[in-house]
Amino acid sequence: MTDFSQIENSIIQVKKRDGRVSDFQKDKISNAIYKALVACGRSDHGLADKLAGHVLVKLVNRGFSGSDAPSVEDVQDMVESTLIEEGLGEIAKAYILYRHERRRVREEKMKVLESKSLDSVAKRFDLNCLRVLASRYLLRNNKGQITESPGEMFERVAILVGIADILRDPSVFQIESGTIQNTEEATRYLDKLDDFNYKFKVGKYYLNKYHFRSLINAYIDLAKRGQMKVSFRELLTMLAANKFEQYAERIKESSDLMVAQDFLPNSPTMMNAGARLGQLSACFVLAMEDDMEKIMKSSSDAALIFKSGGGVGINYSDLRQEGDMVASTSGVASGPVSFMNIINTVTEVVKQGGKRRGANMGIIEAWHPDIEKFITAKTKPGVLENFNVSVGVWEDFWDALVNSPDGKFVLRSPRERDPVREINAHHLIDLIALSAWKSGEPGLIFFDIINKYNVFAKARGGPIRATNPCGEQSLYPYESCNLGSINLSNFVKRKADGQYEFDWQRYEEAIRKTTRFLDNVIDVNTYPIPEIDKASKDSRRIGLGVMGVADLLFKLRIPYNSQEGYEFQEKLAEALSYYSMEESVALAKARGSFPLCSKTEFPEGKIPIAGYYEKPKNGRTYDWDALIAKIQKHGIRNVLTTTVAPTGTLSMISDCSNGMEPMFALVFEKRVTVGRFFYTNKIFEAVLKEHGLYNDQILEKIANNYGSVKGIPEIPEWMQKIFVTAMDIHWADHLMAQGVWQRWIGNAIAKTINMPNDVSSDDVKAAYLLAHDLGLKGITVFRDGSRHEQVLHMTGNNVQKNFQVTPSTYVTDYIAKNVTNSYLKTEIERALQIKMPESVTSTPTPALTPEQMEERLCPTCKNNLVFAEGCSVCIECGYSGCTSG
């Protein structure tokens, strides 16, 4: 028997295809053979290791050694011959196919990246990830040619983020202001950026001219605060003398986080860090006051934000209603919806950073006289296409809806808040629900819940009244937010039995590193207008979130919509906010609190985390009281630290599931010019192969079952429970998942409440009612097929759902125990078709008579009538009871 240990170190290096030499790794041979074995239905790590040893012996016998390294091709040839000699012809064939596929992918990657070679990142990243990077993130020259590799892109971002660390070095920085520096000296360098392109470096990392620009601007900002101990010339002298070389390790740490796909900042940061635009934030909110000059100022500011790569949220409720008198012109107001069209047009013509069209959130609060027109504005295709729209809700509307017997609710003038007319809150919620059922919009934003634990209201002079385009980031006017997401699917480790467990220690370390990363972004950002620069630095708001939740649960074999799933997700959320806030306190000790901290409710011991107040002490995992004491003593660096944002393209780059969403489909079919193929979730695919279930027939069956394994007899029951999709999960469970995250997240959650095509508008309304009761800050409902254009949908010819979706017992138990309002109970019970315990239910609403049912139908098309603008109208055919004669 050959003693492999004697020859293990005989070959030290291997020659790469591009001529470089790297360390020889036997494990790579073993892994390649193992993949060929799996492809043939033989999952045998031991055999793969044994065959890799034989390959090593053959290489040594052929004369390769430490002084004469084999090439990659030599190694692959030896693998093929070894498999054939061992009588494993089928495995050899699979390996040859694997080898050819690797070559094809390698060539396709080089084509996508417009390069003759691949760096280590390009080799590691999936082809689809690289396509996204090439199309949106990698820098190009004025001819449109890619000028950087993926690895260089991540270094470009990391270097910029590292500049903030350098400027906080104790040799140049002091927390207490007091030193006056000549900022004009630094400003003069802005006129000669080209002269300093790649002139300074930190360790091996060179600063390009845009890095240098951010260094100048960040220095000026700190110097104006009296926190710079040295002049700008002295700083440059120290930089030239490699006095900050130790920060190269911090830059590498940031780069490694991104390269490992453990964390990614929001898209503008990756697009613009160390580049011409330099604008790094994703979210902005602008004011919209009832003054033409200020309206035009906000429109101009929006254009600059779109140009720089950001999206905008605006609350239009302060604009007077349509038809109201305008004293200055003796004319009549055109109403807020008409002014939304101005921003819509601006968005159309100004692409974000020259790479994508801008996004908007348009909000009108429920009390505004034009609320019905606003709600139905997007029920027709082609209207306000660059907007997400949401209705803002406060306590008064909610009280009229759930507590008032007659549902009376007063619409008020935006100018004096005088009563204009009275409507029925039930009719209004029906209109919102039917519009959302029809078009997916509007959403609801619960401003009462957003401001319930808002520690910033006192410092800002009032409540928050707007959010960013996707609704997860509540902001005051001119604030921005820098978002980033941790890929939770990577934070696992294998146990002795081969199964995964979550790596809590590494998760904590990542939270701390990425909190610092996002705080640094605030300082090196090039903001599009001065008001945003000031407001962003006054609050230093960051939004650390997550992605890959569904993939993580797949790996851990935990069903998303189970009690174990909810409890685990809640623990993830609590850890995210606890450690990010604790790290924010550590940053405050070293760098100072955010400027308005002393004017907030933090010194009073309050925090913006609902779970602290709403969960009993024995229901928490961490010592929040100790953290609050630290905040009271040292302050905190960031007013809020956590947000769960949508991570569409970031998830593609990280090769994981989107945000905290369940997987949309386990398998879906892609049709291309040369044929068709099935895209399969990688974790699910590996499990199918491991159990000998992977074949085109089963993939087609799953794809035609709305991408779900539910109800497919060939799939074991345990797999059906674990590998759930968005369409497997009842809308009430979608709400519950959002609720358990929201309990511990400082800002809000970007989550789509998926509903099947056959739900009614009553389901949508019940979802709104349950969402508010669960403490959600906003809700977006999406009924499959309700939009003419949706990103993901089932298009196969043989699609047929083989399963029924019902709410989990966890949700129904929660409703039975915790929903106490009689109106809420009745409406939710009706929609869910569940019976609550008699002791806690109210008298059900009497059934409608046939005559009453007929009165609710449109006399023209027999669809449901809704009460809008004081009249019964049909949003299907346009019938109006006020104009019918």
Q: Is residue 869 left, alpha or beta, with left meaning phi > 0 and alpha meaning psi from -120 to 50?
A: left
Range of the domain at 381: 283-460
- Alpha helix stretches (DSSP H) within 708-855: 717-722, 731-742, 761-773, 809-818, 822-832, 850-855
Rounded to whole angstroms, the Cα distance separating 843 from 240 reads 79
Q: pLDDT of 228-245, one tens digit each?
A: 999 999 999 999 999 999
Final residue in a domain of this structure, among 428, 460, 492: 460
Nearest to 119 by CA among 149, 155, 84: 149
Neighbouring C-alpha atoms within 13 Å toward the C-beta of 99: 17
Q: Are residues 355 and 436 in the same domain?
A: yes
The least confident of 317-321, 409-413, 665-669 is 665-669
Q: Are residues 325 and 448 in the same domain?
A: yes
Q: Provide mean pLDDT across the span 538-564.
A: 98
Q: Are residues 305 and 424 in the same domain?
A: yes
Long-range interactions of 353-356: CB distance < 8 A, separation 24+ = 353/268, 353/271, 353/272, 353/277, 353/279, 353/307, 353/308, 353/309, 354/307, 355/136, 355/271, 355/309, 356/136
Tokens encoding 31: 């892994």
Q: Are residues 240 and 350 in the same domain?
A: no
- Split at pLDDT 50, 70, 90, the class of 90 is confident
**DSSP sequence for 138-172:** S-B-TTS-B-S-HHHHHHHHHHHHHHHHHTT-TTT
Backbone φ and ψ for 15, nearest 5 degrees, come out as -90, 125
Q: Provide mean pLDDT across the span 613-624.
A: 96
Final residue in a domain of this structure, among 233, 253, 273: 253
Tell me if 298 is assigned to some domain: yes
Is residue 820 a contact partner of residue 826, using CB atoms and an 8 Å limit?
A: no
Neighbouring C-alpha atoms within 13 Å toward the C-beta of 63: 0
Tell me if 36 is assigned to some domain: yes
Q: pLDDT of 488-523, one tens digit each?
A: 999 999 988 889 999 999 999 999 999 999 999 999
CATH number where 400 lies: 3.20.70.20
**DSSP sequence for 247-297:** GHHHHHHHHHHHHTTSEEE-HHHHHHTTSSS-----EEEE---S-HHHHHH
Q: Are strands 675-680 and 500-502 parallel, antiparallel or unpaired?
A: unpaired
Share of the chain above pLDDT 90, in %: 68
Q: Are residues 27 and 176 in the same domain?
A: no
Q: How many domains does the chain have?
A: 5
pLDDT score of 185: 96
Tell me if 443 is assigned to some domain: yes
Q: Provide mean pLDDT across the span 841-869.
A: 49
pLDDT score of 618: 94
Return all residues near 530 (Cβ < 8 A) that are at least 6 apart: none
Please determine, for residue 672, whether its predicted confidence score (pLDDT) is greater than 80: no
Tell me if 636 is assigned to some domain: no
Neighbours of 690 (CB within 10 A): 12
Q: How far is CA 270 from the centre of its chain?
A: 15
Q: Is 839 exposed, middle or buried (0-12, 13-18, 19+ CB in 10 A)?
A: exposed
645: helix, strand or coil: coil
The residues assigned a catalytic role are 468, 470, 472
Final residue in a domain of this structure, among 414, 442, 460: 460
Q: Provide mean pLDDT across the span 68-85.
A: 87
Q: Is 166 exposed, middle or buried (0-12, 13-18, 19+ CB in 10 A)?
A: buried
Q: Are residues 225 and 339 in the same domain?
A: no
Please determine, for residue 10, whether its predicted confidence score (pLDDT) is greater than 50: yes
Q: Is the bond into 716 cis (omega within 30 degrees of 0)? A: no
Tokens 């078009």 appear where?
439
pLDDT score of 172: 97
- Split at pLDDT 50, 70, 90, the class of 880 is very low
pLDDT score of 399: 97
The alpha carbons of the chain give a radius of gyration, in whole angstroms, of 30
**DSSP sequence for 668-704:** EEEEETTEEEEEE-HHHHHHHHHTT--SHHHHHHHHT
Please determine, for residue 54, whether its predicted confidence score (pLDDT) is greater than 50: yes
Nearest to 39 by CA among 122, 82, 102, 106: 102
Q: Are residues 72 and 14 in the same domain?
A: yes
Is residue 753 a contact partner of residue 781, using CB atoms and an 8 Å limit?
A: yes
Beta bridge partners of 781: 753
DSSP 597: G
Tell me if 247 is assigned to some domain: yes
Residue 457 carries which side chain, given as an amino acid letter?
A: A
- Split at pLDDT 50, 70, 90, the class of 870 is very low
Tokens encoding 537: 């630095």
- Split at pLDDT 50, 70, 90, the class of 839 is very low
Is residue 464 a contact partner of residue 287, using CB atoms and an 8 Å limit?
A: no
- Split at pLDDT 50, 70, 90, the class of 405 is confident
Nearest to 453 by CA among 221, 859, 777: 777
Q: Provide mean pLDDT across the span 693-713.
A: 93
Q: Are residues 669 and 717 in the same domain?
A: yes
Rounded to whole angstroms, the Cα distance separating 73 from 60 reads 15
Tell me if 14 is assigned to some domain: yes
pLDDT score of 867: 42
Q: pLDDT of 462-476, one tens digit each?
A: 999 999 999 999 999
Backbone φ and ψ for 488, nearest 5 degrees, come out as -65, -25
Tell me if 603 is assigned to some domain: no
| DSSP H or E segment with residue 782 | strand 778-783
pLDDT score of 711: 93
Backbone φ and ψ for 526, nearest 5 degrees, come out as -105, 100
Neighbouring C-alpha atoms within 13 Å toward the C-beta of 663: 29
Nearest to 392 by CA among 444, 429, 439, 427: 444
Please determine, for residue 247, whether its predicted confidence score (pLDDT) is greater than 90: yes
Q: Provide mean pLDDT across the span 449-453.
A: 98
Mean pLDDT of the chain: 89
Rounded to whole angstroms, the Cα distance separating 751 from 759 reads 19
Q: Provide mean pLDDT across the span 359-371.
A: 95
Q: pLDDT of 786-810, one tens digit each?
A: 764 444 444 455 667 778 899 999 9
53: helix, strand or coil: helix
C-alpha torsion 190→185→587→572, nearest 10: 0
Q: How far lies 72's CA from each of 25, 50, 106, 876, in Å?
A: 11, 20, 14, 65
pLDDT score of 675: 56
Tell me if 600 is assigned to some domain: no
Tokens encoding 464: 């928050």
Which of 499 and 852 is assigned the larger pLDDT?
499
Q: How far is CA 56 from the centre of its chain?
A: 45
- Alpha helix stretches (DSSP H) within 659-808: 682-690, 696-703, 717-722, 731-742, 761-773
pLDDT score of 70: 87
Q: Is 544 exposed, middle or buried (0-12, 13-18, 19+ CB in 10 A)?
A: buried
Q: Are residues 244 and 287 in the same domain?
A: no
Nearest to 59 by CA among 104, 126, 27, 11: 11
Which of 183 and 18 is assigned the larger pLDDT?
183
Q: Are strands 752-755 and 778-783 parallel, antiparallel or unpaired?
A: parallel
Q: pLDDT of 556-613, one tens digit each?
A: 999 999 999 999 999 999 999 999 999 999 999 999 999 999 999 999 999 999 999 9
Q: Are residues 237 and 301 in the same domain?
A: no
Q: Are residues 238 and 296 in the same domain?
A: no
DSSP 842: P
Please determine, for residue 734, whether its predicted confidence score (pLDDT) is greater than 90: yes
Q: Are residues 296 and 385 in the same domain?
A: yes
pTM recorded for the entire structure: 0.88
Nearest to 477 by CA among 525, 539, 417: 539
